[in-house]
Amino acid sequence: MKNIGIREFYKEIFGNNSALIDALLNNIGSNGFGHFNVFDTKKFYFSNSKKAEMTYNKRLYYKISLIKGKNIVEFAGKTVLIEKQGILFATPKIPYRYIPQDNDQSGFFCVFTKEFISKSNSGIHIDEMPIFKAESDFVYQLNDTQFQEIEVIFKRMDEELSSDYAYKYDLIRNYLLELIHTGQKLKPVDSLENSTNASERITSLFIELLERQFPIESVTQTIQLNSAVDFAQTLGVHVNHLNKVLKETTGKTTTEIINSRIAEEAGFLLKATNWNVSEIAFTLGFEEVAHFSNFFKKHTGLSPLHFRG
């Protein structure tokens, strides 16, 4: 699975305009304050990006999007439709897909790192806030009044970011916290899917996250998700629920599917590369070679060296 940081995110929007990206990254980040930026959606995003659709990836930053226009958002076990306007609170814990349904899109979005918000004197830890927990509703419907009130907060952040005020980042943090607290009081958008479709989507997302870790192409590449808990946390569902869904849809447990795919990749690497067993074990997430050898023998009946021949 690909990890998308701030720089990669800007490349998705602005392509290979390295001068612009460097300028954006230098806005905040060289002084230990973390990173923050805010954009007018119509002006920056859709005019500079070749595709407005956001693909599934593990993103290493937080993003709040004020959305005006028809959109579909897919995440974990849900697909939600924003008919007119809404707000989306994206966390590094949950991969999601964002699909505009028409070209009439406007609003604002901001991106920021945990380091930026942690500089606040509020004592708040962002991952402990309900709206950024894995079980959060993530997407919220807005009426016209709510949209206008939140739009004012975004415009204030945008204006302050361009100002020369010495304490502008402290003020922006206050606006950002106001935005988060406002979001926590909103009603979530209802899911479009019934329980059967939700199960199918969780299964599909699980398989996609699993397969994105392969193939292993370098001894320095290491899979990041190798347990049922890892996948459940990434998908934003309880591990027991994930296991139940996969058992119903595939007939196998989460661990059985993960281990089968890892064993398959191990066999390929043993036959197709000249990497030693310890290197292969490392790429597949095993800290001890003995653990890998026992794992492989359990699944194939042969030790790694006998399998390699």
Q: How far apart are CA 48 and CA 55, in angstroms?
A: 17
pLDDT bucket at 125, cuts 50 / 70 / 90: confident
C-alpha count within 13 angstroms, C-beta hemisphere, residue 248: 15
* Confidence (pLDDT) at 205: 84
Higher-confidence residue: 176 or 33? 176
Summarised one tens digit per residue, pLDDT across range 51-61 is 455 655 556 78
CA-wise closest residue to 257 among 304, 210, 204, 202: 210
Sign for the CA dihedral angle at 95, 197, 192, 242 comes to negative
Q: What is the 3-state secondary structure (H, E, C) of 132-158?
A: HCCCCCCEEECCHHHHHHHHHHHHHHH
* Confidence (pLDDT) at 80: 85
Span of 15-19, 60-64, 237-241 with lowest mean pLDDT: 15-19
49 has pLDDT over 50: no
Mean pLDDT over 45-74 rounds to: 71
> Mean pLDDT for the chain?
84
280 has pLDDT over 90: yes
Sign for the CA dihedral angle at 274, 279, 281, 284 comes to negative
CA-wise closest residue to 56 among 16, 1, 136: 1
Residue ranges of domains in the chain, CATH in brackets? 3-184 (2.60.120.280), 195-308 (1.10.10.60)
CA-wise closest residue to 266 among 253, 279, 250: 279
Higher-confidence residue: 118 or 300? 300
User: Which residues face 67 on adjacent strands?
Assistant: 86, 107
Q: How far apart are CA 50 and CA 105, in angstroms?
A: 15
User: Which residues face 59 on adjacent strands?
Assistant: 4
Q: How far apart are CA 105 and CA 124, in angstroms?
A: 33
Higher-confidence residue: 206 or 192? 206
Q: How far apart are CA 174 and CA 110, in angstroms?
A: 14
Sign for the CA dihedral angle at 82, 87, 90, 94 comes to negative
Span of 100-109, 173-182, 198-207, 268-277 with lowest mean pLDDT: 198-207
Sign for the CA dihedral angle at 150, 28, 40, 60 comes to negative
* Rg, Å, the chain Cα set: 22
Would you say 53 and 73 are in contact if contact means Cβ atoms under 8 Å apart?
no
Q: How far apart are CA 135 and CA 233, in angstroms?
A: 10
Tell me the two tokens of residue 24: 């954006």
* Confidence (pLDDT) at 1: 40
Angle between helical axes of 239-250 and 254-272 (0-180°, round to 10): 70
Examine residue 95 and say whether the peptide bond preceding it is cis (omega within 30 degrees of 0).
no
Count Cβ atoms below 10 Å from residue 171 Cβ, excluding itself: 15
Q: Is 285 left (phi over 0), alpha (psi -120 to 50) or beta?
A: left
Q: How far apart are CA 6 and CA 154, in angstroms?
A: 19
